[in-house]
Structures are given as C-alpha cells and as structure tokens.
Amino acid sequence: MITVIFFNSIFQTFLTEYDFIVIGAGSAGAVVANRLSEVSDWNVLLLEAGGDEPMAADIPGTAAFLQRSNVDWNYRTVPQSQACLSIEGQRCLWPRGKVLGGSSVLNYMMYIRGNKKDYDEWSKENPGWAYDDVLPYFIKSEDNRNPYVAANTKYHGTGGYLTVQEPPYKTPLVTAFIEGGVEMGYQHLDPNAHQQIGFSSVQGTIRRGTRCSTAKAFLRPVRKRSNLHISMHSHVHKIIIDPVTKQTTAVRFEKKGKIYQIKVNKEVVVSAGAINSPQVLMLSGVGLADHLKSFGIPLIADLAVGDNLQDHPEIMGMVFNVDKPYGMMETRYYNLPTILNYTLNSNGPMSMLGGCEGLGWIKSKYAPTDDDDWPDLGITFLSGTAASESGGILRHNFGFTDEIWDSYFKPLINTDMLQFHLWLLRPLSRGTIRLSSSDPYAPPLIDPKYFSETADMDTIIESLKFALALVKTTAFKKLGTKFYDKIFPGCEGFTPWTDDYWRCFVRYTSSTGYHPSGSCKMGPSTDTKAVVDHQLKVHGIKGLRVADCSIMPVIVSGNTNAPAIMIGEKVSDMIKDSWLKIKKEKKEDVSQLKEETLLSLLVEKK
C-alpha cells in the first residue's frame, strides 16, 4: 500500500496494482477516470503530473494569469519560418495545463464541438465516429443552463456533469459583432446545433459565473469513490510493455522524488494530450524506429507517433479602435467595484471568458462547394487587445518582442479597442512532436510547421479581408470603429493592404489557436500514419489505448475542449463494452460448465 494525497486533501492509500491506470487528468482523462470507476468492481488509478486547481482558476476573467504559471507546462515550439515572427525567438508559446483538469483549467472556456462533417469524414476509415455516433456523448456530458439552448434536446443535454452556459456579463461590443454578421447575411445561431456557419455569443464551460473545469465537473463529485485513487505530482516516466507478448504490464512514475512501478491488470489509458501522449509513448518504446534508436530506447512497436500534428494557426494582430467606452481596459477590469461585484454576485467583467465574447464561422472562396455548412475560417471576437492592459500579462503571454510591443502595441495602451482573432479551421500543414532526450523531464520538440502549405496562407488572408468588411457594417460604424492601420514592424517593404503585405502580416502576427491535435492518429493498420485503431487501441500493443485530441485524424472545425471530453466519454463506453462483455461471457461459460457437469453426474448415477 502506498500513501497518496487526494486533491480534496484527505489522506488515502492506493494499491500496487490496478485494473486501469489513466495517465493525465485533463479534459479527457478526468472523464475516463470518472466513468471507469462507475464499475465498482474495477480499481482505477489516475496519475497527474501537476497539482490541484488554484483558487484563481475559478474566476473566468483571470484566464490570462494562468498561462506561464506553475499550472502550465510552459511549452514553446521550435523556431518557425512562416509564423510567430513577432514572438521572442520565433518560438510560439503553447500553453498546456499541468494540473487536475489539464488545459480546461487555463483555457478560455469556449464550448464548441466542431462540425458534423468533421466526424463524418473521420468515420470513412474509423467506424463508429460519425456525427450521429458522437453526438450522444456530447449530450451525455452536458448540463446546459441557457434555457433557449437547452430546449433543443436533439442537440443539447441537461443534468450532465459539465455545466455550459453563456457568461452573465457582456459588453455592447459583442452585440455589434453579431448584428454586423447578420447585416452581412449570416444567421445569429447556436453553432453546436443544426448549423455552424453564422455568428453567436460564446457558450462556455462555466457554472454560475465560475469556471467549470473537468476536475470540477468530473472528479470532485466522485472523489470519495473507494475504487478511484488520484495521485497528483506524479510524473510518468514510461509504460512497461512486454517486448515479446506486447502486453502492457505496468506504469513507472515519479512522485516526490520516489520512483513507483504500478502493475495494471486490464488497460492503461493515455490521456496526456497531443504533446505529452506521444512523448510518453515514445519513451515507452512506441514510435518511429530510427527516432527511438537515436536515443537508445528499445523499440516495442514501429508506429508514426508524433506525426500528423495539427493546430489552428491564429492571427492576433487585427486591432480596431472604437469611440465608445466599452472596451475591456485594465482600469475598468481591475478595480474595487468590479472585484466586489464579482465576489458578491459572480457577475461583471470578471465573469467574462477572458474577454472572448463572440464567435463567427464563415466559408472562404477556397472552401469546398459541395457542403453549405462546412466553414474553413473562424473568428473569435474580443472586447480588448494585448494593449488593453499595461503590458504586464498579455504582452508576455503572446511573447511579443520588445521592438514589436513598443512600436505597434504600446501606443494603444489606455484606449478603447476591439479585436478579431482569426483562425484557420482545417489547415493542410502537418507538424511533428519529437523527443529532445530520453529524459522524461525534457520538453519534447514541437514543430507545428505553420503555413508550410501555401494553401493555408491563401485561405487565412481571406479572413483578414472579411474582418475589414465586417467593421464597415452599420453596427460597427455606430461605435466609430476604425482599423488600426499602422504598418506592422517588419512589413514596411510591402505595399499596404496587398496580398503580399497580408502574407507578411500573417507571418508576424500568427500564433497558436491553443488546439494541438492529431499526433497519435486514429486510423486502420493499413494507414502508415495511424497509431491507434477506431477503438483507440494502440496498433500491435495489448492493453494500451490513447484517448485525447491526439487521436484526431484531422482537427475539428472548432475548439477542442468539448471534443476531448466527448472522446473521454466514448472511449469509456468502449472499454466497458469490451471488459464487461468478457466478464459476461466467462460467467455464461461457467454456468454452462456447471450445467454440463451436473448433467454428466446425473447420467453416471443412472
């Protein structure tokens, strides 16, 4: 027996072997641990490298403060040549949650599922993953508390663990955003229902004005289950796999300076995210043979682990001035009345999703014409910019160089602004995750290869042109909205507002959309890039599955937190179906054997 501290600070013990070990307590892993521990006969161990959620994480408005903190893995990409040029070292910052609840603790809480066609495309090579197959799992988790949304029971659920609702506070700017979209011919709609293309205010994973992480939603309600043990500050070194039988037998991890190796009786489920899941697999001998050989790691299975990496590149430099006092300026956001309002009423600016207020989904001229509702561009509307505060937090979260900050953003401090973060929904570019060392504590090498495909650049430029058209609508003109037309530093050699200028602008102002995916691709064994099958079982390995956004064959056309939770729900049912069926068959075999034995004895007696 080993002593461990639960996240509710109650001392408990856990066994030296478990039926299931779940690696990572993030958006998917928390769900898997909850659902598997519903079976009282199964013992489940959940391993998390980080600790408990900080109190500040409860406040939606503090999302920016959690990045670069001790609940963030603080990852950076390798230097990029086509993106992130305004960021120190041209290395994009990739925040990832190192905490119970994972990235659901430090994200901007937007609840978007993606497009129906995304999942239907997955299902062409992965049976059971069509939209009609996954929709029940989105609904299963959900407790939607917006009455006009929850009334649509075909697409939404109530009573689930995960609370979803609109923030209690909005600025007038988001009204202009939606009205402007309608003025341009788009519908004001719920993008998680029958149609995605259109404009909406945000729905978020919040509960009565506070963040609803997966730790709060799925772990806290079941923390007293005797068969669920949660070990925080437990950094996984490797999964132990028998090199002959290919059977997963144990997990090795370090906790408070001591190494443990815990046996597993049934399965290990890796839910460490699109960066750490491939890292753990490679450290365990599952990966590309030549790559593992270069670090002296014995090969267990030669699979394309770490390939197929995808993300939504996001443009963060489209800044607009407004004449009305509606922007989320630092002086309005952080003051005593605002803080008291939130403390007493869970309302006001601090209840906003970090300033994110609206979403738009549109098709560019490059989008497929055979589907009227499969957008290729997304717009996140923010009622402020990096210059909305004095440069202490947001500037460093984006990683801007001193030259960029001083020249472009600093002159805007203490002015009313709004911003569009424009993102590419279905990038063609593919990147990689690779080990930098055989040391499990060494950060992996992250190379998203943003805009390595020319078509990605051509498509994202269309979003910039759309944004300029949007602010010319009557709704925005009423606010005195004007594009901040200062030439971006580094792009002075291009004629302003031409495609060549916008290409330069994109290269400088692009960064992550916070949606890494695809690095442990789901697909049939005939697919040379596939790591897991449609049951999320690692090809060629027994007792090992991966369940998080890394399994996405192609990234979804939307945010990834809700899909990660869905994946956790779906794999849990797959595991239950598999093992409970085996148990039932064994029970039936025993009953049949007893009947045959009894009949034999009766015959002998006669």
- How confident is the model over 94-130, as pLDDT tens digits? 999 999 999 999 999 999 999 999 999 999 999 999 9
Q: List the structure tokens of 210.
A: 């506070």
Please give the Cα distance from 26 to 16 (Å, whole number): 23
- Residue 370 vs residue 286, higher pLDDT: 286
CATH code at 214?
3.50.50.60
Asked whether residue 396 is domain-assigned, the answer is yes
pLDDT at res. 9: 38
pLDDT at res. 327: 86
Structural contact between residues 236 and 440, judged by C-beta atoms closer than 8 angstroms:
yes
Q: List the structure tokens of 1.
A: 């027996």
Please give the Cα distance from 306 to 276 (Å, whole number): 10
Per-residue CA distances from 437 to 302, 440, 441 (Å): 18, 8, 9
Question: Per-residue confidence at 335, pLDDT binned at 50, 70, 90?
Answer: confident
Q: List the structure tokens of 178.
A: 């939606």
* 420 beta partners: 318, 381
Tell me the helix, strand and coil percentages in the chain, rounded to 5: 35, 25, 45
Catalytic option among 237, 312, 515, 539? 515
Asked whether residue 594 is domain-assigned, the answer is no
Amino acid present at 247: Q
Question: Per-residue confidence at 601, pLDDT binned at 50, 70, 90?
Answer: low
* 262 beta partners: 251
Asked whether residue 191 is domain-assigned, the answer is yes
Question: Per-residue confidence at 600, pLDDT binned at 50, 70, 90?
Answer: low
Q: Which helix (H) or strand (E) holds 344?
A: helix 336-345
Query: Can you say how many angstroms the Cα of residue 457 is from the centroid of all Cα atoms in its chain?
Result: 23
Asked whether residue 369 is domain-assigned, the answer is yes
Over the Cα atoms of the chain, what is R_g?
Answer: 25
- State the chain's maximal CA–CA distance in angstroms: 103
- Please state the rounded mean pLDDT for residues 411-416: 91
Asked whether residue 176 is domain-assigned, the answer is yes
Three-state DSSP at 508 gives: helix
Structural contact between residues 512 and 423, judged by C-beta atoms closer than 8 angstroms:
no
Percent of the chain with pLDDT over 90: 85
Residue 58 domain boundaries? 2-579
Asked whether residue 566 is domain-assigned, the answer is yes
Number of domains within the chain: 1
The pLDDT of residue 47 is above 90: yes
- Residue 279 vs residue 326, higher pLDDT: 279
Look up 188 and say whether it is catalytic.
Answer: no
Known binding-site positions for FAD: 99, 236
- Please state the rounded mean pLDDT for residues 231-260: 97
pLDDT at res. 11: 39
Per-residue CA distances from 209 to 151, 174, 202, 381 (Å): 21, 18, 13, 20
Asked whether residue 165 is domain-assigned, the answer is yes
Per-residue CA distances from 592 to 305, 588, 596 (Å): 44, 6, 6
Please give the Cα distance from 488 to 496 (Å, whole number): 10
Asked whether residue 301 is domain-assigned, the answer is yes
Handedness of CA 118, 108, 46, 236 (dihedral sign): positive
Question: Per-residue confidence at 605, pLDDT binned at 50, 70, 90?
Answer: low
Q: What is the DSSP letter of 218?
A: I
Determine whether 420 is exposed, middle or buried from the number of CB atoms within 10 Å of its CB (0-12, 13-18, 19+). Answer: buried
- Please state the rounded mean pLDDT for residues 446-452: 98
pLDDT at res. 369: 79
pLDDT at res. 606: 54
- Give the N- to C-terminal CA distance of the chain in Å, as an integer: 54
Known binding-site positions: 99, 236
